[in-house]
Amino acid sequence: MFIFIVATLLAWIALVNSAPVALTHSGDVTFFPPGLGACGKINVASDLIVAVSFEFFNGFGPQSNGNPVCGRKIKATASGGKTVTVSVEDKCASCAQFDLDMSPGAFDQLADERVGRLHGVTWHLL
C-alpha cells in the first residue's frame, strides 16, 4: 500500500510539473456563448472567461470540477497590442492545444466579434 501511495504521489508531481504554466503560447482565439462550464460555474457573455483546449486543461489533471487550472488567469495579447485578462472556466472541444475560446465580453476587448477568429494571439498563465 505504501508503494502505491508513493507512486501515485510521484506521478501527480510529474503531471503538475509537466503542465505548461510559465510559457508564452500562441494560437487562435474565437468566442462562444458561455453557460455551465467544465469548472462547474455558470457564466454569462459579459464575464471575462476562457475555455482552453482539452489537451491544455487535462495537463493539470483529468478532473473537471476542482481542476487546478480552473480559475487561473490568462493574459492574452492580440497582434494589434490589445490585451485582456481572463479566467479559465471551461474546456474547448474544437480548440487546438494553444487556442483559446473566449466569452463575447472578453473577445470584444481584443476585436470586434464580426472578425470571428483572431490568429497568432499570444498568451500566458498569470
Summarize pLDDT for 38-91 with one digit per residue, the tens. Answer: 999 999 999 999 999 999 999 999 899 999 999 999 999 999 999 999 999 999
Question: What does the pLDDT look like over 114-124, one tens digit per residue?
Answer: 999 999 999 99
**What whole-number distance in Å separates Cα of residue 36 and Cα of residue 45?**
12
Q: Which stretches within the chain are classed as H helix?
A: 2-18, 54-58, 104-107
Tell me the three cell numbers of residue 14: 510529474
Q: What is the pLDDT of residue 22?
A: 63
Handedness of CA 23, 28, 34, 35 (dihedral sign): negative
Contact 68, 61 (CB under 8 A): yes
pLDDT higher at 90 or 13: 90
Q: What is the pLDDT of residue 3?
A: 62
